[in-house]
Amino acid sequence: MRLGVLDVGSNTVHLLLVDAHPGARPVPFASHKRPLQLVAHLDAEGAITAEGQRLLADFVAEARNFALRHHAQDMLAFTTSAIRESANGQHVLDFVERETAVVLRELSGRQEASMTYLAVRRWFGWGAGTLLDLDIGGGSFEMAQGQDELPDVAVSVPLGAGRLTRDWLHGDPPGPAAVQALRSYIRDVAQDAAEEFREYGAPHVAAGTSKTFRSLARLTGAAPSAAGPYVRRRLRRSDLTALIPRLAGMTAAQRAELDGVSALRAPQVLAGALVAEAAMEAFSIKSLRICPWALREGLILQRFDTLRFDTPHVDLPVPLPAGPRILPPVPAGALVLAEAGESNGSAPL
């Protein structure tokens, strides 16, 4: 079965198509994304402007056509903090549905943390024991910990790298006073959030997900993405602390020249590094493992679990609504999965 997940984030709108069947590992088939940066389309009241709504609707329609053109049978469409925290979020969701016939489902911060945790648990398996996952997005920072498929505790705080850069770091490069003020603020918020985890004890494995953690790991010596997802990558707090002054002294253009940092994320990688450092301090983590799976993969796995057992996950603490089916379901046994690496002319992952 070919399944699509459309993720409307603060920085990027990303459609991921995978081939899989219930119980199987989802194999990436194609990816289609655009650096929309919805946070750049907010008015003085925090509402997404008409231009931002139009750009979003245009890409959602484009993504839907991309999924249909590549024979997707189901598509889940979700949005996170970018629309969740805007002043006119429901209006934007209604507008996109009217214009594209695609229903965007809004995830709460706790749902986002829980679905990311699910992906990390599946990646590392039961042998990881108690698992803590940290995920830095553009608008929010998610943390989740547990021993099972879903976390015992899941928390979301407004420490997204894009948000913090926009609100705190105005210079290029920012001044030392601004960096220190932001560092102190992040530490206070991270310490308060970590208190909610104390009763669950120390994790056996601490993992980092998201592009920010992957970039920071690369900047501190981890293998490049070209080495593939199965290479073990780590981020050490000592290396991160040494990296921060270097990033703070660079302009965004200079950071964009670093291996592992894109031009889109170069302005916010410093804020992301400060969040990562504060979180590792708050949880007393000296080193964390980088997981290539995150929210999109969690949503895919949850969807296939629903198909596998042919019943909604009504007992989940954070139930997720199924996205709109964009093609009729294929009868069981009639699915033919693509070979690994097949592209059918689409953009390879």
User: If you ran DSSP here, which 8-state letter would residue 213 be given?
Assistant: H
Q: Which of 46-60, 140-154, 203-217, 294-308 has the lowest mean pLDDT?
A: 294-308
Q: How confident is the model at residue 262 (pLDDT cuts 50, 70, 90)?
A: very high
Residue 277: pLDDT over 90: yes
First to last CA, the chain: 18
Tens of pLDDT, residue by residue over 291-348, are: 999 999 999 898 888 776 654 433 333 333 344 444 333 333 222 222 222 233 333 2
Reduce the DSSP state of residue 35 to 3 states and report it: coil
Q: Give the pLDDT of residue 260.
A: 93
| Residue in 271, 260, 181, 257 with CA at minimum distance from that of residue 218 | 260
pLDDT in tens, 220-231: 999 999 999 999
Q: What pLDDT is attached to residue 309?
A: 60
- Phi and psi angles of residue 7, each rounded to the nearest 5 degrees, phi first: -110, 115
Average pLDDT score over residue span 209-217: 96
User: Distance (Å, rounded) from C-alpha 239 to C-alpha 246?
Assistant: 11
C-beta of residue 206 within 8 angstroms of C-beta of residue 289: yes
Range from 32-36, 115-119, 246-250, 336-340 carrying the lowest mean pLDDT: 336-340
Complete DSSP assignment for 114-137: HHHHHHHHHHH-GGG-SEEEEEE-
The pTM score is 0.86
Looking at residue 310, its pLDDT comes to: 53
What is the C-alpha to C-alpha distance for residues 283 and 183, in angstroms, rounded to an integer?
Answer: 16
pLDDT at 95: 97
Instruction: State the average pLDDT for the chain.
Output: 88
How large is the angle between the packed helices 295-309 and 109-124, nearest 10 degrees?
A: 80
Q: In the predicted model, is pLDDT for residue 116 greater than 90?
A: yes
* pLDDT for residue 311: 42
What is the Cα–Cα distance from 293 to 227, expressed in whole angstroms? 16
Q: What is the pLDDT of residue 308?
A: 66
Region 277-285 average pLDDT? 98
Q: What is the pLDDT of residue 25?
A: 86
The pLDDT value recorded for residue 22 is: 75
- What is d(CA 94, CA 279) in angstroms, rounded to the nearest whole number? 36
pLDDT in tens, 125-172: 999 999 999 999 999 999 999 999 999 999 999 999 999 999 999 999
Tokens at 43, concatenated:
């008015």
SS3 state at 145: strand
| Cα–Cα nearest to 115, from 60, 72, 73, 156 | 156
Alpha carbon distance 221, 154 (integer Å)? 30
| Cβ 288 vs Cβ 65: under 8 Å | no
Query: Helix axis angle, 237-248 relative to 211-219, nearest 10°?
Result: 90
pLDDT one-digit tens code per residue, 88-114: 999 999 999 999 999 999 999 999 999
